[in-house]
Structure 1
Amino acid sequence: MTAPFVLSVSNRKGGSGKSTTVVNLAAEWAARHRRVLVVDLDTQGHAGLGLGISVAKGAPTAHHIFRDPTFDLSTAVVESAWAGLACAPADPLFQAEGPHGLDVLARQLRRPAIAEAFDVVILDTPPSLDFLLMNALAAADGVVIPMLPHALSAEGVKQLTRLLYRIATTANPGLRLVGLLPVTLNSRINHHQSVLDEVTRQFGPERVLRGIRTDIALAEAFAAGKPARVHAPRSRGAMDYFLLADELPQLWPGSLAAS
């Protein structure tokens, strides 16, 4: 059995483009005939909303795996309107209770109902250093960190990478930082460029992805519950995520490019 590749899209800071990146990257890979599952671990539930998926009262969600050790994540999976793209939506009422191991999510993703059904799993994570984020990092093969080109966002990236390396040296030795993804990028703003220069100096040019330009079409597509490639296929944002979907496998040896 070949396990799906698991990508965690994470940042400590809210409003950093995590859910937008999850939705649009998932849609791009699904359009390339990959079977993609989005697991929404952020109780805001934005990834599901961006895919036009809402949770009925009492319906199973991704967060049920932390309530019931016998729960099967596959029962929470909902097909989207686009072929090959599904989502296990979040529970907006979820509250952590009791102790949770770091391998809860990883064990679920190894179950045949998930492992045999999907080529890639993309995790949308909460903007906090809690057990949900740590479960995501413990289950992931790689991490992409969307970041606003602002000084405070760059500091949040440093804090997250410290946690990433802690998980990589303990619970998940296979975890790697795939790259930092600048979002709402405007090359004409000097501060944006200076922040990118500093991040590039600290992490190396190979860790800084090409970035997603500022584009209102991305917000409009999200509000419509559709990926940008569907809602505004000629927009800058749609093109940037199209290019990102091609770029990431090249930086992630053995992933979608070779599967």
Structure 2
Amino acid sequence: MKSPRVIAVCNRKGGAGKTTTAVNLASELAALGKRVLLVDLDSQGHCAVGLGLKVAPGAATVHALFGEADGGIGLMEVVQPSCIERLWLAPADQLFEHGSGTRDPLRLAQALADAALANQFDLVILDTPPSLDILLLNALSAAHWVLVPYVPHPLSFEGVRQLMRVLFKVMSVQNPDLKILGFLPMTAADHIRQHRSISADVSRQFGAHRVLGGIRNDIKLAEAFAVGKPVRHYAPGCRGAQDFAALAASLLPVIDCTESPGSSLI
């Protein structure tokens, strides 16, 4: 049985567009026929907001996996359906304290090995916190690929560089098969000199072939979150929806392959 392919959406800098990317990419891949599980590891819980889901007080969340003793809870027990066909959510616990709980970096990988997940899902997308804690390490240890959104700004670029240092450590110990799916410019505007400069820096340091087509600045992306819908279901003709659709279409051939030549870190 083929296990779901796992994509971790990461940047060590907050505000880089991780959740916007995770929610909208998950929606686009579901629209392309994939059965997608979106896992919200960030205790802000914004994936549920982006999908218009209310997490009831006391409901099981993905953070239950990371207690000192997990109590035998399985990931399938926290999964909720969304209003989007073929898209489910494992929601976050907004009261979870980052830095608490287990120090086991493989807890999530073990949870994702559940045969029931392989029966129900083709893809798992992990929305991660920006902090360097056990949740980020769990995400990187469990993923096949890492997708790195970044805003073309010096602080976001520094977040990318910090993430790369973490990736090298994870690849040397917990997950030697981890690969970079790509670097994704957010709020991209080629007419702005700083945007061009930062993306050029990313290309020089990590390879131009790893820089993906960007997501242009579009207020509809924020408006979509405000009404609890992925942008393709809120304003399908807008720039943001077009860009995420193009992103999903470009990544699907790689996701469908067992191997992704040329995308590794080394």
Q: TM-score band (shorter)? A: over 0.9
3-state SS in 2 of match to 1:219: helix
3-state SS in 2 of match to 1:144: strand
CA distance 1:160–1:120, shift in 2 (3 Å): same
Counterparts of 1:232-243 in structure 2 under 5 Å? 232-243=235-246
- For 1:233 and 1:98, the matched residues in 2 are separated by 41
Measured against aligned partners, the alpha-carbon deviations of 1:159-189 in whole angstroms (never above 9, x if no partner) come to: 1011012101110111011111000111111
- Of 126, 130, 133, the match for 2:129: 126
Q: TM-score, normalised by structure 2?
A: 0.93
Aligned pair 1:14/2:14, yes or no? yes
Which residue matches 1:164?
A: 167
Q: TM-score, normalised by structure 1?
A: 0.96
CA RMSD across the alignment: 1.5
- For 1:10 and 1:110, the matched residues in 2 are separated by 21
3-state SS in 2 of match to 1:179: strand
* Structure 1 residue 230, shift from structure 2 partner: 0.5
- For 2:82 and 2:255, the matched residues in 1 are separated by 26
What amino acid is aligned across from residue 190 of structure 1 in structure 2? R
CA contact (8 A) 1:51 1:80 kept: yes
Measured against aligned partners, the alpha-carbon deviations of 1:100-129 in whole angstroms (never above 9, x if no partner) come to: 211100011110121221000000000111
Which residue matches 1:80?
A: 82
Counterparts of 1:22-33 in structure 2 under 5 Å? 22-33=22-33
* Structure 1 residue 73, shift from structure 2 partner: 1.1
3-state SS in 1 of match to 2:6: strand
- For 1:201 and 1:126, the matched residues in 2 are separated by 26
* Structure 1 residue 253, shift from structure 2 partner: 6.4
- Aligned-pair identity in percent equals 51
Which residue matches 1:190?
A: 193
Q: Which moved more, 1:95-104 or 1:10-19?
A: 95-104
Query: 5+ residue gaps in structure 2?
Result: 261-266
What amino acid is aligned across from residue 89 of structure 1 in structure 2? P
Aligned pair 1:148/2:138, yes or no? no
3-state SS in 2 of match to 1:143: strand
CA contact (8 A) 1:53 1:89 kept: no
- For 2:106 and 2:124, the matched residues in 1 are separated by 16
- For 2:122 and 2:256, the matched residues in 1 are separated by 15
3-state SS in 2 of match to 1:183: strand
3-state SS in 2 of match to 1:115: helix
Which residue matches 1:222?
A: 225
- For 1:234 and 1:131, the matched residues in 2 are separated by 39
3-state SS in 2 of match to 1:233: coil
CA distance 1:253–1:204, shift in 2 (3 Å): farther
Measured against aligned partners, the alpha-carbon deviations of 1:16-66 in whole angstroms (never above 9, x if no partner) come to: 110010111000011111100000000000111101112100000010111
3-state SS in 1 of match to 2:183: strand
What amino acid is aligned across from residue 232 of structure 2 in structure 1? R
- For 2:193 and 2:59, the matched residues in 1 are separated by 47
Which residue matches 2:66?
A: 66
3-state SS in 2 of match to 1:184: strand
The size of the alignment, in residue pairs, is: 257
- For 1:170 and 1:147, the matched residues in 2 are separated by 26
3-state SS in 2 of match to 1:116: helix
Which residue matches 1:202?
A: 205
CA distance 1:91–1:123, shift in 2 (3 Å): same
Which residue matches 2:179?
A: 176
Which residue matches 2:264?
A: none
What amino acid is aligned across from residue 232 of structure 1 in structure 2? A
Which residue matches 2:41?
A: 41
Measured against aligned partners, the alpha-carbon deviations of 1:229-258 in whole angstroms (never above 9, x if no partner) come to: 00000000000000000112344561699x
Which residue matches 1:135?
A: 138
